[in-house]
Amino acid sequence: MATRNAVQLITYADRLGGDLPGLARLLRSEPFAGAFGGVHVLPFFTPYDGADAGFDPVDHTAVDPRLGTWEDVRDLARTHDVVVDLIVNHVSAQSAAFLDVRARGDASPFAPMFLTLSSVFPDGAREENLARIYRPRPGLPFTALRLGDRLRYVWTTFTPQQVDVDVRSEAGRAYLTSILDAVAAAGVGLVRLDAVGYAVKTPGTTCFMTRETFAFIEDFTAQARARGVDVLVEVHSYYRRQVEIGRAVDLVYDFALPPLVLHALYAGDGTALAGWLRDRPRNAVTVLDTHDGIGVIDVGPDQTVEPGDEPRPGLLTPEQVDALVAGIHARTGGASAQATGAAASNLDLYQVNSTFYDALGRDDHRYLAARAVQLFTPGIPQVYYVGALAGGNDVDLLARTGVGRDVNRHHYTAQEIAADLARPVVRALLGLCRFRNTHPAFDGDVEVTLDGPVLTLVRRGVAHPGASATLVVDLSTGAARVDWDGPHGRGRTEDLLHAPLDAVGTGAAGAGS
């Protein structure tokens, strides 16, 4: 894992580059060269444009031919560390296996692969059993469907188009192994376990991140490692649970970082952010934006506390969380409110749908300060493709689809990419990524200091003990300064936008450069 320390891009192949070969060409082109050492290619399986933008695969072992082939994935892996999604919790209701179950019921050999209410609760479920089930959206996770000649309640955690797999059944294990074999054969070095927190259903529990879930993650991780593949766990949950997950896996997302950075820049108060930076898991993937919304559950109180137990407060108070959400809606001109919660389909209780650039009111200085905090935070930084181009909310796409998360899933044309690459804020961000990739200070830990509204992060090299990089951000104004020292000399930039950083020894402006 020590060599996987460069900034990665998160993107859909079709929305940035058109297809897999086009994405590879774009990443290898001069504007992007050196900015991203890896790429998380969001689902490119058949079909990539289903009910949930590829997260409802009909065939998880096949590349959608409209995007390319497994050979194209292998080609991309020649120059970039490739991350691929393993959608372990569910498959499409239109998959061949589930359609066979729809037609033949229990007579289908695939019947044990899918979960129903009665397969999890064979003796029936009492009201308190169902009330304990944790779900990211309102209501119960069941859809009434006719399987063979019987009407059954099929387990559908997310949408009726996504049918949950019994990952402990023989058929379910064989299915997941076939996916793992396919991606490993294509040279993929890291897989992301999508929605794995919901993958194991245990009667009498919340069915979310239980002991049985941890056991499943441990077993699957061992299978992946045997194939030379590392595992990234994707779970939105209470922050202490993220720390616990981090102890048990290769990599875990730092989903608390985005709302904490926004809160700090909104309020000019870095207390919660600085505290988290000191305590968070170090084996983390850092993000400010992804294909989903900006999570708030990750900084709020524990929502799985049992009745009668002591409440477990979050990194932010409920009042601070409310102010954060209101601040996003205000800075986006109400676009995020139109795209979030009951205002749009794909309802998520724990996310606000907006681009990160719009969530900061399209303020270039604050945006670059936020990215600098992300890149100075230990872990593997990932930058979402819309964020890499400092993109705004796509309200037209939202209006056409009615899907809230589409506001942050723009389809870029070649002309739009070229125009955005000419913007100073985009050039500065890519230069900051190149600096992060090349300066030898970023293989060590971070020193965190907070003096009023001024946050200081210092990274010091391990392989090069004399190397250091220091970020100073005035959270009240968004002004950011970077100082560095190392084998290629020392330097400073007082303005990330107008005197941008770049690869060590080139493009840096300021004193000593």
Give the CATH number of the domain where residue 126 resides: 3.90.400.10
Q: Residues 372, 428: contact at Cβ < 8 Å?
A: no
pLDDT at 356: 98
Q: From CA 296, how far away is CA 293, in angstroms rounded?
A: 9
Write the CB contacts of 282 (distance below 8 Å, at least 6 apart in sequence): 246, 378, 379, 445
Binding-site residues from annotation for substrate: 52, 90, 192-194, 234, 291-292, 348-351, 405
* pLDDT of 510 above 60: no
Q: What is the pLDDT of residues 48-63, one digit of tens each?
A: 998 888 999 999 999 9
Query: Counting beta carbons within 10 angstroms of the beta carbon of residue 239, is it exposed (0 to 12), middle (13 to 18) or buried (19 or more)?
Result: buried
Q: Which domain holds residue 152?
A: 96-163
Q: What is the pLDDT of residues 120-173, one digit of tens each?
A: 999 999 999 999 998 877 889 999 999 999 999 999 999 999 999 999 999 999
Helices (H), 253-301: 257-267, 271-279
Q: Is residue 465 part of a domain?
A: yes
Q: Is residue 156 part of a domain?
A: yes
Instruction: Characterize 136-166 residue by residue with b for buried, 16 or more Cβ atoms within 10 angstroms of its Cβ, and e for exposed.
Output: beeeebbbebebeeeebbbbbbbbebbbbbb
Q: What is the pLDDT of residues 354-398, one digit of tens each?
A: 999 999 999 999 999 999 999 999 999 999 999 999 999 999 999
Token code pair at residue 167: 């990952």
Q: Is residue 21 part of a domain?
A: no
Q: Is residue 127 part of a domain?
A: yes
Token code pair at residue 456: 């200081």
pLDDT at 211: 93
Q: Is residue 107 part of a domain?
A: yes
Token code pair at residue 490: 């020392």
What's the Cα-to-Cα distance from 48 to each of 13, 128, 193, 199, 353, rounded to whole Å? 9, 38, 17, 22, 21
Q: How confident is the model at residue 502 (pLDDT cuts 50, 70, 90)?
A: confident
pLDDT at 504: 56
Last residue of a domain, one of 104, 134, 163: 163
Last residue of a domain, one of 136, 163, 190: 163
Q: Residues 260, 272: contact at Cβ < 8 Å?
A: yes
Q: Is residue 363 part of a domain?
A: no
Q: Is residue 483 part of a domain?
A: yes
Radius of gyration over every alpha carbon of the chain, rounded to an integer in angstroms: 23
Q: Residues 443, 436: contact at Cβ < 8 Å?
A: no
pTM: 0.93
Residue tagged 């409209």 (tokens): 66
Query: What CATH number does residue 446 fall under?
Result: 2.20.220.10
What's the Cα-to-Cα distance from 451 to each of 116, 481, 492, rounded to whole Å? 55, 15, 20
pLDDT at 513: 29
What average pLDDT score do residues 416-436 get? 97
- Catalytic residue numbers, as ranges: 194, 234
What's the Cα-to-Cα distance from 412 to each of 25, 371, 398, rounded to whole Å? 15, 22, 15
Q: Is residue 353 part of a domain?
A: no
Mean confidence (pLDDT) of the chain: 92
Give backbone dihedrals phi and psi of 247, rounded to 5 degrees, phi first: -75, -20
The closest alpha carbon to 458, from 367, 377, 368, 374, belongs to 377
Binding-site residues from annotation: 52, 90, 192-194, 234, 291-292, 348-351, 405
Greater confidence (250 vs 92) lies with 92
Task: Tell me how many domains the chain contains.
Answer: 2
| 3-class secondary-structure state, position 485 | strand
Q: Residues 398, 405: contact at Cβ < 8 Å?
A: no
Q: From CA 452, how far away is CA 454, in angstroms rounded?
A: 6
What's the Cα-to-Cα distance from 452 to each of 144, 257, 274, 418, 473, rounded to whole Å? 56, 20, 11, 40, 11
pLDDT at 509: 37
